[in-house]
């Protein structure tokens, strides 16, 4: 087991990892940028280090300064959280080469799955169904137009590196595609330092279903069921839940077992999530694999009772899967997570500022994950996530009711936030009935009114 772990991240996920380290009795090292110097969760770490300016490239994406902290602190493990360097094979290799251990999959799997077209090729060779797509675009507009004509419109332009919906742009015709390529290329270069793009057939109203897996270093792998992440805005998740509504358990279990068989052949290790698109009457189509802890991991924790962060750390330390997970994994009740962002609830633009009032409502089977306290500043330098609210109930309706009660009693002042949007979705007939799809969020949001522009 680790003696001391460096948490190479910030905010809610850093606070979450620090809590897991305390459970395991492992000493912790936290880092912070200039913008985050006053955040109160830092007091939960045994040691803290300043890593520079607020801009991510100068701090949380700065491998040199993080490696210096690793050396100075004497940590023997690095937990990357999610985002930033969590899916950097280069960083994982550097950590391992320094004599510490990266708390995540082996670098070869981070590299293999981090490039989306190569990951698709790998998983396709092992029998997983794929949505129709192009190969890598070579940078010529005429080649992209030809690829789109072969696929058929609408298409989705996607960065080959990175994830989280960043840089994904839809196009319904040639004129939109030309603009979409420029926008996607710019976002991909800024976010992932790569301009590689590809096209994918755009399914208009699919379900976005992901499967959580845990594995050890000895070839053993298991799934911990699925999460439905269909409620999104601009290709980014807002509400996640488990189990997925209106899909038979037989169908879901078959897909999960197929994924485990493929990953077991590789063999994959530690933690990962396979993301798929699903339409009734079709296969689950492989979308991508995230080689890290997911933002929405708490949904799975609530229905299984398994602490995924603790499990991830133990598996990375070399423990066997059968010592980390119970023989039979529980699947109890229903869990829903809502991501509360500092953003305009109509146009979804970021709304940085001071959390003048920040009161989270406690409630039965309600859990919150945040890196902020009242009086803290939400800056423009990072993702505008304020807090994740997770509700667990004995069934789906019960979980929805508990979530709505918690959101109704939550008070956030000083910035705009998306709670009104989340409440509209949760109260909509479509969501209540379980008829969710990736376009539901924007359907419920409706068009931007003139007064909101």
Q: Which domain holds residue 348?
A: 207-447
Structure tokens at 106: 């082996």
178, 201, 224 — which closes off a domain?
A: 201
Number of domains in the chain: 3
Identify the pLDDT of residue 365. Answer: 92
Identify the pLDDT of residue 33. Answer: 98
**Residue 374 counted as domain residue:** yes
User: Of 15, 425, 444, nearest to 228 (Cα)?
Assistant: 425
Mean pLDDT by 10 residues, the chain (453 residues): 98 98 98 97 98 96 98 98 95 98 97 88 91 80 88 89 76 91 84 82 90 97 98 92 97 96 96 94 90 98 98 98 97 98 89 96 91 96 96 98 96 96 97 96 69 36
User: Which secondary-structure segment (H or E) carries 24?
Assistant: helix 11-24
How far apart are alpha carbons 227 and 205 in whole angstroms? 17
Identify the pLDDT of residue 164. Answer: 64
- The answer on 290 and 143 residing in a single domain is no
| Residues that are catalytic | 292
Residue pair 437/336 in contact (Cβ under 8 Å)? The answer is: no
**Residue 118 counted as domain residue:** no
184, 201, 218 — which closes off a domain?
A: 201
Identify the pLDDT of residue 451. Answer: 36
The enclosing domain of 431 has a CATH number of 3.30.470.20
**Residue 185 counted as domain residue:** yes
How far apart are alpha carbons 81 and 151 in whole angstroms? 36
- The answer on 159 and 97 residing in a single domain is no
Neighbouring CB atoms inside 10 A of 261's CB total 13
How far apart are alpha carbons 32 and 369 in whole angstroms? 18
The enclosing domain of 23 has a CATH number of 3.40.50.20
The radius of gyration computed from the CA coordinates of the chain, to the nearest angstrom, equals: 21
- The answer on 317 and 196 residing in a single domain is no
- The model's pLDDT over 153-211, given as tens digits with 9 standing for 90+, comes to 999 898 887 666 777 898 999 999 999 988 888 888 877 777 888 898 888 789 999 99
- The answer on 162 and 90 residing in a single domain is no
**Residue 267 counted as domain residue:** yes
Q: Note the pTM of the prediction, 2 decimals.
A: 0.92
- The model's pLDDT over 64-92, given as tens digits with 9 standing for 90+, comes to 999 999 999 999 999 999 999 999 999 99
- The answer on 308 and 218 residing in a single domain is yes
- The answer on 289 and 435 residing in a single domain is yes
- The answer on 96 and 154 residing in a single domain is no
**Residue 127 counted as domain residue:** no
**Residue 113 counted as domain residue:** no
Backbone phi and psi for residue 266, each to the nearest 5 degrees, phi listed first: -65, -50
Q: Is 51 helix (H, G, I), strand (E, B) or coil?
A: coil
Task: Kindly give the residue spans of alpha helices, DSSP state H, lying in 344-410.
Answer: 396-409
The enclosing domain of 157 has a CATH number of 3.30.1490.20
**Residue 372 counted as domain residue:** yes
**Residue 339 counted as domain residue:** yes
- The answer on 384 and 240 residing in a single domain is yes
186, 201, 216 — which closes off a domain?
A: 201
Backbone phi and psi for residue 291, each to the nearest 5 degrees, phi listed first: -95, 55
- The answer on 234 and 192 residing in a single domain is no
- The answer on 236 and 174 residing in a single domain is no
- The answer on 168 and 241 residing in a single domain is no
User: Of 429, 199, 439, 239, nearest to 338 (Cα)?
Assistant: 239
Residue pair 118/109 in contact (Cβ under 8 Å)? The answer is: no
- The answer on 84 and 174 residing in a single domain is no
């Amino acid at each position: 087991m680790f003696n001391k772990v460096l948490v190479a991240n910030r905010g809610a996920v850093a606070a979450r990892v620090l809590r897991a380290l305390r459970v395991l009795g492992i000493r912790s090292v936290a880092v912070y940028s200039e913008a985050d110097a006053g955040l109160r969760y830092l007091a939960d770490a045994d040691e803290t280090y300043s890593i520079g300016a607020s801009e991510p490239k100068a701090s949380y994406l700065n491998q040199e300064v993080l490696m210096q902290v690793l050396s100075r602190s004497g940590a023997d493990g690095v937990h990357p959280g999610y985002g930033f360097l969590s899916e950097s094979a280069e960083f994982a290799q550097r950590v391992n080469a320094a004599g510490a251990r990266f708390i995540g999959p082996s670098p070869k799997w981070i590299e293999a799955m981090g490039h989306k077209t190569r990951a698709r090729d790998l998983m396709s060779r092992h029998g997983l169904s794929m949505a129709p797509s192009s190969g890598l675009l070579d940078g010529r507009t005429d080649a992209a137009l030809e690829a789109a004509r072969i696929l058929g419109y609408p298409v989705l332009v996607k960065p080959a590196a990175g994830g989280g919906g960043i840089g994904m742009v839809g196009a319904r015709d040639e004129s939109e595609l030309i603009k979409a390529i420029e926008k996607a290329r710019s976002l991909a270069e800024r976010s992932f330092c790569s301009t590689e793009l590809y096209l994918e057939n755009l399914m208009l109203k699919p379900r976005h279903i992901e499967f959580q897996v845990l594995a050890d270093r000895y070839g053993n792998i298991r799934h911990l069921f699925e999460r439905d992440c269909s409620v999104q805005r601009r290709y980014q998740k807002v509400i996640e839940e488990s189990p997925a509504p209106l899909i038979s358990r037989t169908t879901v279990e078959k897909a999960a077992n197929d994924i485990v068989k493929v990953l077991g052949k590789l063999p994959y290790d530690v933690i990962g999530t396979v993301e798929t698109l699903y339409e009734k009457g079709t296969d689950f189509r492989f979308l991508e694999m995230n080689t890290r802890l997911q933002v929405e991991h708490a949904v799975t924790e609530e229905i299984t009772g398994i602490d995924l962060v603790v499990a991830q750390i133990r598996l990375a330390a070399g423990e066997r899967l059968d010592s980390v997970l119970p023989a039979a994994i529980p699947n109890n009740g229903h869990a829903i997570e809502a991501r509360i962002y500092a953003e305009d609830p109509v146009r979804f633009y970021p709304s940085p500022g001071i959390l003048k009032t920040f009161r989270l409502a406690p409630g039965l089977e309600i859990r919150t994950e945040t890196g902020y306290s009242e009086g803290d500043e939400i800056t423009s330098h990072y993702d505008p996530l304020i807090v994740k609210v997770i509700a667990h109930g004995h069934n789906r309706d019960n979980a929805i009711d508990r979530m709505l009660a918690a959101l109704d009693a939550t008070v956030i002042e000083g910035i705009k936030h998306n709670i009104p949007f989340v409440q509209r979705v949760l109260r909509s007939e479509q969501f209540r009935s379980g008829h969710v799809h990736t376009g539901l969020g924007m359907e419920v949001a409706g068009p931007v009114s003139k007064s909101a522009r």
